[in-house]
Structure 1
Amino acid sequence: MRTSIATVCLSGTLEEKLQAAATAGFDGVEIFEQDLIVSPNSPEATAALAAGLGLSLDLYQPFRDFEGVDEEQFAANLTRAEAKFQLMSRMGMTTVLLCSNVATATIDDDAVVIDQLRRLGDLAERYCIDVAYEALAWGRFVSEYDRAWDLVKAADHPRIGTCLDSFHILSRGTDLSRIAEIPGEKIFFLQLADAPALSMDVLSWSRHHRVFPGEGSWDLTDFLARVAGTGYAGPVSLEVFNDSFRQADTQRTAVDGLRSLRWLEANVSATFDDRASGADWGRDRLQLDLQPLPRVAEPRGIDYVELNTDDLGALTRQIHQLGFRFVGFHRTKPHVQLWRRGQARIVLTEPIEPEYAPIVPADESTVALAVSTPDAHSTASGTYLRGIGFAVADADAAMERALLLSTTEVPREQAHDEKVLRGVFAPDGSEVFFGDGDGEDPQWTDEFGTVPDDRQSAIDHINLAQPAHHYDEAVLFYTSLLALTALPSQDVPSPSGLVRSQVMSSADGAVRMPLNVSPDHSPNALSRGAGSPAATYPEHVAIACDDIFTAATTAVARGLKFLAVPQNYYEDLAARFDLAPELLDRLREHNILYDHDAEGEFLHFYTSTIGSVFFEMVERRTGYRGFGAPNAPVRLAAQHRRNTES
């Protein structure tokens, strides 16, 4: 599948955008007219740069406000079009995007529009240029793709075709069935964008809130499968208007965009393969070379959480108070230790100064990844969540898929007799490792020693903070690499503003990861460490237990100071739920919060924050699957008080 990206998706100069697209691995680009106009380079120089980078120039866009006008205006529009055709010829470009008229259309008459499209086609023929007519969702008279196609079909000109844009079609909720009527050769271009589910005018929605496929709420797998079934054989391109993307790192955004297309391509490939006959998707007409990815199932659970800390005493004291048992130091890395509580495992890593890092000779006892200095995270200061190990059915397939989705592998020291663990960097700078999990203790734990622990405890969920500019990237990362599902987002009020939260979850709930975007300039924002791409809101690890009151009693006996919950909360709790007075007193005594829904009950308490990490102990009763969302403002306010007072 040939991939393309519109330069409007990226920040920077036109030259920087072309370089980023090529480095990311795109086959071609759409040239957004404004990017060319403001460039100091000539059209010929721009074309030469693209060619030197191995990029095709797939589309010049947009040409606006052409059809549905009187003859005087139409003559002026033809003159304007010819100037653009001449410019495109200088660049070797052969396809232009014609948007349905928004501003100057005065005649809502199909016959007039058809005639004007034909005459434009005659002009385009002189320059060997194809015109892709697109229905803008807010077009004056033409705003639906099927009407645009009816006009193109009636014009019956070899140089006039249509452009299908997922945003303009899906934002209006148009019936997609008529896509199958369009011959693939008359679809001159295809543009893709996803979007979150918002209630707002479609123009503002389009101009500010588009995202890459997999980062929004639409089923683009279904959309692309329908288009592929027509026999379309051209580029599959991204056209995303997004305020955050236009401010973010150019190269990073380009990589995120290509990842979205490769993920979508694999989904569509699987869609065609999985259909018994494929006839309803037009498999016999398929022209796109759809490349699959190694298939991965949802992770079976979380093997471990790794925390980096320069305050080892405080952190080990707190997890001991939560009932964790010390397993041991790693047999070759004395700065790394393992703690466990049932199946909940926490790896603690102390930073190593580079000048004191051990030198490991690269001989037969080590593999090629052995290095003489630790990676950037190992030297970072502070206490922060460094990485997560996921138990997956096939670690090799998961790693291969991750690398094909343009991720970066984490360098790791590896002795010959140690379990091979491989992982990649997540968008927030943390590490994601893949382990073959089968419900038993993973093999790598033997490298720390053996401490039996059959308690019913595990990592319930991990709450990760995300930089605002890369939040959508994180959603796609976990969707595409681990087959997690993004649940609807929520806004949680805090003393510093609204916190956007979206849960990434496996279907069975074995993996739950709320992703949070903290308010800008929040006093609660703490650094993940020197290796972190941005300051982060505090993150936390939630530990499941089968008796929260026993866990709380043990923690108090060991000196744990809970995050204080105000009396007002318990008065409100009594008003909202018909709780026995004895239960309410026990909740109040231990600063335990409570929630209840039709499926069951949820009891939980929080620790204080060390660096940018705190812990939550939870007990789920019967079928409760949530996270105690009504209690989040209470926790945020309590943390705010504690942080500002200290």
Structure 2
Amino acid sequence: MRTSIATVCLSGTLEEKMHAAAAAGFDGIEVFEQDLVVSPSSPERIRDLAAELGLGLDLYQPFRDAEGVGPELVPAVLRRAAAKFRLMNRLGTDTVLVCSNVATATVDDDAVAARQLRALGDLAGEHGVRLAYEALAWGRYVDDFEHAQRIVELADHPSVGTCLDSFHILSRGWDPAPIERIPAEKIFFVQLADAPLLSMDVLSWSRHHRVFPGEGDFDMVGFMTRLVRSGYDGPVSLEIFNDAFRQADVRRTAVDGLRSLRWLEDQTLRALAGQPVRDRLELQALPAVAEPAGYDFVEIRTARLGETTRLLHQLGFALGGHHQSKEHVQVWVQGPVRVVVVDAVREAVPGASPTEIAALGFTVEDPEAAVDRATRLRARPVERTQGPGEQVLRGVHAPDGTEIFFCRASPDGVPPWLGEFGADDVLDPAALVTGVDHVNMAQPWQHYDEAVLFYTSVLALEAQPAQDVPGPSGLVRSQVMRSADGAVRMPLNVAPAAAEQGSFVGAAYPEHVALACSDVVAAARRARRRGLAPLPVPQNYYEDLVARFDLDEAFVASLQELDLLYDRDTGGEFLHFYTGTLGTVFFEVVERRGGYAGFGAPNAPVRLAAQYRRSHEPGARQRSPRGAASPQ
């Protein structure tokens, strides 16, 4: 599939956008008029640069207010068009996007619109240019792609075709099925954009909230299957208007965009499997991978080794050993849970937080295929050295910089790499901690959508509906990524802006590891005996608990004694407690009773408020923000 991206999607100068698109792996670009107008480079220089970078100049856009005008405006339209066509000849691009009129149209007559497009087509033909007519969702008289196609048919000109834009079609709820009936040779260009479902005017929605395919709520795969059935064989391009994208690093946004197209290409091919379709787009599949079967390990990097290992001891973990060739690395174990601890002081990691989640290992069926898929999706491989005889762990960087490793399952549940710590026989069936329930990862607001797509496309996790949780620093947006069987749950939280600006005493917004437990009361008592001071829960919470659930007061008193929190749904009950925060990490210990499926969301505001208070106590330790992720 030929991939393209509109320069309006990216931050920076036109030249910077072109370099980023080429480096990401795009085949071509759409040149947005404003990017060229403000560039000091001549059209000829941009044409030459594109050739140097191996980029096609697939489209010039937009040409506005072209059809449906009164006769007095037609000469001005043709004059403007002639100037643009000459410019396109210098630039070396042969297709221009013509938007349905939103400003100067005064004649609601398809025959008039078609006649005016035909006149433009005559002029375009003289310059070797094609017109791709697009129905804007807010067009004055033409806002429907089928209506635009009828006008194209009436124009009946070889230089006049249609442009299909998924946002303009799906945002209005139009059925994309009629795309299949459009003659392929009359589809001159295709633009893709996804978006979250929002209740707002479509113009504002379009200008500020588009996202890459797979990062929103539109049925992009359904749109693409219709396109394939039409027989279209041209570029598939991204046109994204998004405030965050235009402020983000141009290189990582370009990579995110290419990843979205490769993922969509793969998903479309799988949706069409077994159907008698002539695929003129030549879709390519990614290596097939199954969703992860669970967490293999969690790695914590810390400059406060003593406090971190003390906390693990309080939670019931035992030291499994030190790594045979990396003395600054140790592993702590409890039941099937393995926490690798890296001494950041001895490792000398620049810019690292005093304590942070540095890596996650996932148990997968085929690690080689998983890594192959991830790298084809433009994830940056992790460079990690192994000594003689040591296991090769392969992984990639997530958008926030976390290292994601793909680990092969072991028949006895003990991973081979554990032997490098001298801890090859540490499973304890009587351990209170029975697994990793979930890992909650904090994401920078400007890269949140990128993270959702990453975990969807690379790890085959499914995004659950997002929700907002109120806290002292503002609303926290949370969206759970999970495997179908729930073996892997990963809530992604977007920190409120106030948190990023230091409301946690200079800390990046905290994230945590939730440990599944068979008896949270026993785990809490053991932790207290070992000196743990859990995150305090106020009396008001327990009084409210009685009112909400009509619980036995003796039961509530036992919860209060141990600072345990409680929730209940139709499936069962949820009991949990939190530790304090070290750097940007804290732990949660949870017990699910029955079929409880949530994460204790009603209790999150209690936790957020308690963390806020503790971080503002006199003498609270200053904490460095998590190191910025490198572009992928």
Maintained 8 Å contact 2:505/2:615: no
Distance 1:525 1:444 in 2: 36
Whether 1:305 aligns to 2:298 is yes
Cα distance in 1 for residues equivalent to 2:283 and 2:220: 15
Partner Cα distance (2:346, 2:566) in 1: 44
Please name the residue that 1:163 is paired with.
Answer: 163
Q: Deviations over 1:301-334 (max 9, x none)?
A: 0111100011111111111111112211112211
Contact 1:14 1:39 in 2 (8 A): yes
1:24 CA displacement: 1.0
How far, CA to CA, are the matches of 1:568 and 1:380 in structure 2?
Answer: 38
Aligned partner letter, 1:142: V
Pairing partner for 1:517 from 469, 475, 494: 494
Aligned to 1:360: none
Aligned to 2:323: 330
Aligned to 1:418, which of 390, 406, 409?
390
Distance 2:489 2:515 in 1: 12
Q: Look up the SS of the partner of 1:536 in the other structure.
A: coil
Q: Residue 418 of structure 2: which of 445, 448, 452 is its match?
A: 445
Aligned ranges 1:497-512 → 2 under 5 Å: 497-512=474-489
CA apart distance, 1:452: 3.0
Return the offset for 1:233: 0.6
- In 2, distance between residues paired with 1:230 and 1:135? 18
1:526–1:612 CA contact under 8 A, matched in 2: no
1:485 maps onto 2:462 in alignment: yes
Residue 154 of structure 1 and its aligned partner are, at CA, apart by 2.1
Q: Tell me, in whole angstroms, the C-alpha distance in 1 between the residues paired with 2:382 and 2:177.
A: 45
Structure 1, unaligned runs of 5 or more: 355-373, 528-534
Given candidates 450, 457, 466, the residue that maps to 2:443 is 466
- Map Cα deviations across residues 448-489 of structure 1 (whole Å, 9 max, x no partner): 213231236100000101111111111111111000111111
d(CA) in 2 for partners of 1:114, 1:578: 70
**What CA deviation, in whole Å up to 9, does each residue of 1:270-290 have, x standing for no partner?**
2222x3xx14xxx13x20111
- Aligned residue in 1 for 2:624: none
Between the aligned partners of 1:417 and 1:40, the Cα distance in structure 2 is: 57
* Pairing of 1:86-235 with structure 2 (within 5 A): 86-235=86-235
Which digits, 9 at most, give the CA deviation of each residue in 1:379-433, with x for residues without a partner?
8351111010001111110001111111111111112311111011111011000
Displacement of 1:74: 1.7
Amino acid at match of 2:375: L
Q: State the partner residue of 2:628.
A: none
Matched, 1:494 2:466: no
**What are the within-5 Å matches in structure 2 for residues 598-637 of structure 1?**
598-637=570-609
> Per-residue deviation at 1:580?
1.6
1:311-326 superposed matches below 5 A: 311-326=304-319
Equivalent residue for 2:629? none
CA–CA separation in structure 1 for the residues paired with 2:565 and 2:155 = 67
Deviation at 1:524, TM superposition (A): 4.5
Find out whether 1:578 has 2:550 as its counterpart. yes
Mapped partners of 2:526, 2:345: distance in 1: 33
- Which stretches of structure 1, 4 residues or more, deviate above 4 A after TM superposition? 524-527
Q: Counterpart of 1:229 in 2: which secondary structure?
A: helix
Q: What is the one-letter code of the residue matched to 2:596? A: Y
Q: Give the SS at the match of 1:152.
A: helix
C-alpha contact 2:353 2:584 (8 A) present in aligned 1 = no
User: Secondary structure at 1:457's aligned position in 2?
Assistant: strand
| CA distance in structure 2 between the partners assigned to 1:146 and 1:383 by the alignment | 56
Q: 1:569 to 1:406 in 2, by over 3 A?
A: same
TM-score by length of structure 1 reads 0.93
Does the 8 Å CA contact 1:341/1:453 hold for their aligned counterparts? yes
Cα 1:381–1:180, aligned 2, differ >3 Å: closer, same or farther?
closer
What is the deviation of 1:25? 1.0
Q: Is the 8 A contact 1:213 1:260 kept in 2?
A: yes
Q: Which residue of 2 aligns with 1:12?
A: 12
Q: How big is each residue's C-alpha offset from its partner over 1:593-612, in whole Å with a ceiling of 9 and x where there is no partner? A: 11111111111100000111
Note if 1:398 corresponds to 2:375.
no
Provide the rounded CA distance (Å) in 1 between the counterparts of 2:286 and 2:125: 41
Shift of 1:536: 2.9
Q: Corresponding residue for 1:591?
A: 563
Q: What is the CA–CA distance in structure 2 between the aligned matches of 1:352 and 1:559, rounded to whole Å?
A: 25
> Could you list the per-position Cα deviations for residues 491-521 of structure 1 after superposition, in whole angstroms to 9, with x for gaps in the alignment?
1111011111111111111111111111124
State how far apart, in whole Å, the 1-side matches of 2:477 and 2:106 are: 44
Structure-2 separation of matches of 1:289 and 1:49: 27
Q: Name the SS of the counterpart of 2:396 in structure 1.
A: strand
Contact 2:410/2:416 (8 A) holds in 1:
no
Tell me whether 1:539 sits opposite 2:516 in the alignment. Answer: no
Which of 589, 610, 615 is equivalent to 1:643?
Answer: 615
Q: 1:353: Cα distance to partner?
A: 4.8
Contact in 1 for aligned 2:565/2:603 (Cα 8 Å): yes
C-alpha contact (below 8 Å) 1:466/1:536 kept by paired residues:
no
Structure-1 residue corresponding to 2:333: 340
Alpha-carbon separation, structure 2, partners of 1:325 and 1:251: 43
In structure 1, the residue matched to 2:380 is: 408
Matching residue's letter, 1:48: D
Could you list the per-position Cα deviations for residues 67-102 of structure 1 after superposition, in whole angstroms to 9, with x for gaps in the alignment? 111111122111111111111011111000000000
| Cα separation, partners in 2 of 1:433 and 1:633, compared to 1, 3 Å | same
Alignment-derived partner of residue 365 in structure 1? none
Correspondence list, 1:41-80, <5 A: 41-80=41-80
Compute the RMSD of aligned alpha carbons: 1.4
Q: Is the 8 A contact 1:65 1:104 kept in 2?
A: yes
CA distance in 1, matches of 2:418, 2:185: 57
Question: Which deviations, in whole Å up to 9, do the C-alpha atoms of 1:198-234 show, x marking residues without a partner?
Answer: 1111111110111111111112111112101111111
Give the structure 2 partner of residue 363 of structure 1.
Answer: none
- Following TM superposition, by how much is the alpha carbon of 1:111 offset from its aligned partner in structure 2, in angstroms? 1.2
Is contact 1:330–1:337 with CA below 8 Å preserved after alignment?
yes
| Cα pair 2:353 2:583 within 8 Å, conserved | no
Task: Measure, in 2, the Cα distance between the counterparts of 1:103 and 1:134.
Answer: 15
Any idea what SS the aligned residue of 1:334 has? Answer: coil
For these two proteins, the number of residue pairs brought into alignment is 611
Unaligned runs of 5+ in 2: 621-632
Separation in 2 of the partners of 1:202 and 1:525? 37
Instruction: Quote how far apart the aligned CAs of 1:525 are.
Output: 4.7
Counterpart amino acid of residue 314 in structure 1: E
Per mean C-alpha deviation after superposition, the further-off stretch among 475-484 and 407-416 is: 407-416
TM superposition shift of 1:444: 1.1
Residue aligning to 1:370: none
Q: Which amino acid aligns with 2:318?
A: R
Matched, 1:548 2:550: no
Match of 1:37 in 2: 37
For the residues of structure 2 that align with 1:268 and 1:524, how far apart are their CA atoms? 44
Name the CA distance, whole Å, in 2 between partners of 1:154 and 1:598: 59
How far apart, in 1, do the equivalents of 2:177 and 2:189 lie? 19
